[in-house]
């Protein structure tokens, strides 16, 4: 056994590339915008007084905190990175999210079997790069197992087409 | 100390059903510990809907088992492949893997299992004595104290985590904001519901946890999924040799102490304690240059520490109702689902749950020790499962679980949206931990703040005029000032301790 790797420090499995200054600015801008919007909505609720707080007071305090921290991040964005650059893999993430939104929308319309089968097949084949054969076997198998577990086993009233 | 509730707890832990759930929990924990990717917080979040129909004690026994079981499992891949399954076992990889390359993998794994067992068990014993005392003090707390306590909890989790301070604070503020969605708790006015009935009841904690931790983690791993498969080195049985055991005895004791203390601090937890324990071992060694080249103390110390910390981090949750880390925040949610509010009254109102869960941990640790020595080979084989297969199966289970909470497809959309938020937060350097923790504590914090304001007649200075809350405010101020300093010092120490040994 060679001892050529003992000098390694902490293992960092696939340490992602740090993001640039633009991304750091986005990290500060998001809380500011979000906080400002929430503060505006809170002001339209009843603020009340400190003695008798209305429903809007607490959200207003929290929104102000969000804006303040966002400004803090913007100020420190010049030196601190702390973000991760988006890689080409982000396309997979977006695709997966779209597939999941479609899944959730179809679910109550056509029952859970077809969307589940399609989601599994698409994910295994295109995101997992499985072969067509294992894609077909796994997606049918997992859908059947989910049917057995959730509908027959746990009695969860999932909308379904096949009635056993 | 009245021992009868403790004994009742043992009888609860030994009920056949609870034994089964304990075994199930530690096995799942060990599995997800071995598999890189899904952490304990995400796994527990995904399994929350399943616990709806369980008895409270059984549910928490299983979920707790997942948490401390993951600490055992994470070690295996650290030692064999230098691929830590969990953040808390990253530091074990340094010397553990060096030992494996010298052909001593079996012995290293054996020491790790024993160290984990001793660390975990010692920590449960200490917990059994400290928790009742702490809960006794906390029974005197009123709304003012809870306001400050919740603030301390959120603040500590933010500062002791690994991310930037302002970003943690921003994440916490966003979590508090999300918690205000729904009807006003005192007056019933709709807030941030955007006119839809779907949001009138607020956002269910389970959906936030499943979306942010579960779906968020899967999406995040999707971006970096090309992981090289390494060959598993051969090893015999995972039993420590006599020499290794003699060498690691004191390291285990020191590691257990470090882990117990750091685990109680909110935000401390398993990861930090394993790093500190490694630093302690390296400093107290006669010949520090052995570290990095296969020193068994570098395995024994961190492993006993992360298990001791995993156990002691239950203390703030079970006695004060303040979760110390992200996983505890999810367990907080699990208890709330069962209609149990974690806090000082837990021990007196539900002694069976409290002592049942605590005492089940002895059994869980024993089971883990029994499982890990003969079955390590089986768990290692699980590494052959490709992440591309595991992710879609996990996501289907998650989505169906989300639906089953209210039989509502809108919740699935919400969970996916929160998953995207979780992904974006990680990319932009925000930790999801403070967000979820603040979300959990949000209604407690708002409720006690507003009640205090009414009691005090709008006078904010009353917070420092009542002795109990003033003490807590003192603690809060201390942490605001002291922790960032300590943080800088510690970061430098850990850097020094974990950097490769100079030859």
Q: What pLDDT score does A1 carry? A: 34
Cβ of B416 and A58 within 8 Å? no
Residue A147 CA to residue A143 CA, distance in Å, equals 6
Q: Inter-chain contact B388–A38, Cβ cutoff 8 Å?
A: no
Is residue B166 a contact partner of residue B464, using CB atoms and an 8 Å limit? no
Instruction: Provide mean pLDDT across the span B235-262.
Output: 85
Question: Which A positions 118-147 lie with beta carbon below 8 A of chain B?
Answer: 119-120, 123-124, 127-130, 134, 138, 142, 146
Chain B CB contacts of A16 below 8 Å: 224
Residue spans per domain, chain B: 4-498
- Give just the sign of the alpha carbon dihedral A15, A20, A26, A27: positive
Mean per-residue pLDDT of chain A: 83
pLDDT of residue A8: 39
Q: Which residues pair with B191 in a beta bridge?
A: B182
Report residue B483's pLDDT band, with 50, 70 and 90 as the boundaries: low
pLDDT, residue B496, reads 62
Q: Sorting pLDDT into bands at 50, 70 and 90, what band is B61?
A: very high
With a cut of 60, say whether residue A13 has pLDDT above it.
Answer: no
Query: Other C-beta atoms within 10 Å of A152: how many?
Result: 10
Rounded to whole angstroms, the Cα distance separating B256 from B307 reads 8
Q: Which helix or strand (DSSP H or E) is residue B152 part of? A: helix B143-160
Cα B39 to Cα A57, B237, B277, B479: the distances in Å are 37, 27, 22, 28
Give the residue with greater pLDDT, B260 vs B35: B260
Q: How many CB atoms lie within 10 A of CB B478?
A: 11
pLDDT at A39: 92
**Contact criterion met (CB < 8 Å) for A34 and B460:** no
> Residue A15 above 70 pLDDT?
no
From B78's Cα to the closest Cα of chain A, the distance in A is 9
Are the C-beta atoms of residues B302 and B274 closer than 8 Å to each other?
yes
Contact with chain B for residue A83, Cβ under 8 A: yes
Radius of gyration of chain B, Cα coordinates, nearest whole angstrom: 22
Distance between CA B294 and CA B279 in Å, rounded? 15
pLDDT tens, B355-409? 999 999 999 999 988 887 777 777 777 777 777 888 898 899 889 888 888 888 8
Selected residue of A3, A9, A11 to mutate for chain B interface (largest B Cβ count, 10 A): A11
Can you tell me the distance from the alpha carbon of B327 to that of A119, in angstroms, rounded to the nearest whole number?
A: 29
With 0-12 / 13-18 / 19 or more C-beta atoms within 10 angstroms meaning exposed / middle / buried, residue B352 is middle
Within a 10 A sphere around the Cβ of B382, how many other Cβ atoms? 16
**Of residues B435, B159, B484, B429, the one with CA closest to residue A77:** B429
A18 reaches B (C-beta below 8 A): no
B294 interaction partners in chain A (CB closer than 8 Å): 6
The closest of B42, B9, B50 to B402, measured between CA atoms, is B50
Among candidate residues A23, A28, A21, A24, the one with its CA nearest the CA of residue A68: A28
* B255: confidence class by pLDDT, cuts 50, 70, 90: very high
How is B403-464 classified by DSSP, letter by letter? Answer: HHHHT-HHHHHHHHHHHHHHHHHHHTT--HHHHHHHHHHHHHHHHHHHHHHHHTTT-GGGGG
Q: Do B170 and A73 touch (CB under 8 A)?
A: yes
Residue B119's pLDDT is 93
The reply to whether A103 touches chain B by the CB within 8 Å rule is: yes
Task: State the pLDDT at residue B245.
Answer: 85
**Tokens standing for B234?**
């051969």
- Predicted confidence (pLDDT) at residue B122 exceeds the cutoff of 80: yes
Residue of B nearest to A147 (CA): B400
User: Cβ of B191 and A59 within 8 Å?
Assistant: yes
CB contact under 8 A, B173 and A35: yes
Q: What percentage of chain B exceeds 90 in pLDDT?
A: 19
DSSP conformation letters of B69-124: HHHHHHHHHHHHHS--SSGGGTTHHHHHHHHHHTT-HHHHHHHHHHHHHHHHHHHH
From chain A, pick out residues whose CB is under 8 angstroms from the CB of B450: 53, 57-58
**Three-class DSSP category at B64:** helix
Angle in degrees, 0-180, between the axes of helices B165-179 and B432-455, rounded to the nearest 10: 60
Helix (H, G, I), strand (E, B) or coil at A18: strand
Q: CA of A149 to nearest chain B CA: how many angstroms apart?
A: 10
Residue from B429, B434, B500 whose CB has the most chain A CBs within 10 Å, to mutate: B429
State how far the Cα of B446 lies from the Cα of B454, in Å rounded to an integer: 12
Q: What is the mean pLDDT of chain B?
A: 83
CA distance B229 to B386: 9
Rounded-to-integer distance, Cα B451 and Cα B150, Å? 14
Helix, strand, coil fractions of chain B, as percent rounded to 5 = 75, 0, 25
Q: Who among A49, A87, A128 is closest to B391 (CB)? A: A128
Asked if residue B460 lies in contact with residue A50, where contact means CB atoms within 8 angstroms, the answer is: yes
Instruction: Look at residue B293 and tell me whether its pLDDT is greater than 70.
Output: yes
- How long a stretch of residues is chain A? 164
| CB contact at 8 A, B218 and B484 | no
Question: Which of B104, B207, B223, B233 is best to mutate for the A interface (most A CBs within 10 A)?
Answer: B223
Instruction: Write down the ipTM of this complex.
Output: 0.87
Low-confidence winner among A135-144, B131-140, B220-229, B439-448 (lowest mean pLDDT)? B220-229
């Amino acid at each position: 056994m060679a001892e050529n790797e003992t000098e390694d420090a902490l293992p960092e499995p696939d340490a992602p590339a740090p993001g640039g200054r633009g991304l750091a600015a986005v990290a500060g801008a998001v809380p500011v915008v979000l906080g400002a919007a929430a503060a505006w909505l809170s002001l339209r609720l009843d603020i009340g007084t400190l003695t008798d707080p209305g429903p809007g007071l607490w959200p207003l305090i929290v929104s102000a905190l969000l804006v303040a921290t966002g400004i803090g991040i913007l100020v420190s964005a010049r030196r601190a990175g702390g973000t991760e650059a988006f890689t080409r893999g982000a396309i997979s993430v977006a695709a997966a999210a779209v597939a999941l939104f479609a899944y959730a929308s179809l679910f109550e319309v056509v029952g859970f079997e077809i969307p589940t089968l399609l989601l599994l097949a698409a994910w295994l084949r295109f995101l997992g790069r499985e072969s067509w054969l294992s894609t077909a076997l796994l997606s049918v198998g997992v859908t059947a197992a989910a049917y057995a577990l959730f509908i027959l086993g746990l009695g969860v009233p999932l909308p379904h087409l096949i009635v056993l | 100390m009245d021992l009868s509730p403790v004994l009742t707890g043992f009888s609860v832990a030994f009920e056949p059903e609870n034994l089964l759930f304990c075994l199930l929990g530690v096995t799942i924990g060990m599995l997800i510990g071995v598999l890189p990717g899904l952490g304990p917080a995400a796994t527990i979040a995904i399994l929350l809907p399943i616990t709806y129909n369980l008895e409270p004690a059984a549910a928490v026994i299983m979920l707790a088992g997942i948490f401390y079981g993951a600490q055992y499992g994470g070690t295996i891949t650290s030692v064999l492949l230098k691929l830590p399954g969990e953040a808390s076992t990253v530091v074990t990889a340094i010397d553990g893997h060096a030992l494996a390359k010298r052909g001593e993998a079996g012995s290293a794994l054996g020491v790790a299992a024993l160290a984990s067992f001793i660390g975990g068990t010692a920590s449960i014993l200490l917990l059994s004595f400290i928790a009742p005392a702490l809960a006794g003090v906390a029974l005197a707390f009123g709304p003012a104290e809870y306001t400050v306590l919740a603030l301390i909890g959120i603040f500590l989790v933010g500062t002791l985590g690994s991310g930037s301070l302002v970003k943690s604070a921003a994440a916490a503020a966003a979590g508090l904001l999300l918690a205000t969605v729904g009807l006003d708790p005192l007056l019933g006015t709709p807030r941030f519901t955007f006119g839809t009935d779907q949001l009138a009841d607020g956002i269910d904690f389970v959906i936030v946890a499943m979306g942010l931790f579960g779906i968020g983690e899967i999406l995040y791993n999707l971006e970096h999924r090309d992981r090289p498969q390494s060959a598993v080195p051969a090893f015999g049985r995972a039993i420590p040799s006599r020499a290794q055991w003699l060498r690691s005895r004191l390291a285990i004791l020191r590691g257990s102490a470090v882990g117990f203390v750091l685990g109680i601090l909110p935000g401390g937890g398993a990861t930090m304690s394993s790093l500190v324990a490694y630093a302690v071992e390296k400093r107290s060694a006669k010949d520090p240059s052995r570290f990095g080249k296969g020193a068994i103390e570098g395995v024994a110390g961190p492993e006993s520490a992360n298990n001791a910390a995993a156990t002691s981090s239950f203390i703030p949750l079970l006695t004060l109702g303040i979760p110390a880390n992200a996983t505890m925040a999810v367990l907080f949610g699990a208890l709330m689902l069962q209609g149990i509010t974690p806090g000082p009254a837990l021990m007196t109102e539900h002694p069976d749950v409290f002592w049942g869960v605590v005492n089940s941990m002895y059994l869980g640790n024993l089971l883990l020790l029994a499982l890990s020595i003969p079955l390590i080979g089986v768990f290692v084989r699980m590494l052959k499962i490709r992440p591309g297969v595991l992710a879609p199966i996990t996501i289907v289970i998650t989505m169906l679980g989300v639906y089953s909470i209210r039989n509502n497809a809108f919740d699935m959309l919400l969970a996916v949206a929160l998953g995207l938020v979780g992904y974006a937060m990680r990319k932009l350097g925000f930790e999801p931990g403070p967000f979820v923790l603040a979300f959990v504590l949000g209604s407690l914090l708002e409720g006690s703040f507003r009640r205090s304001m009414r009691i005090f007649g709008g006078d904010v200075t009353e917070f420092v005029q009542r002795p109990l809350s003033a003490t807590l405010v003192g603690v809060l101020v201390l942490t605001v000032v002291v922790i960032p300093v300590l943080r800088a010092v510690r970061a430098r120490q850990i850097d020094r301790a974990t950097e490769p040994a100079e030859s």
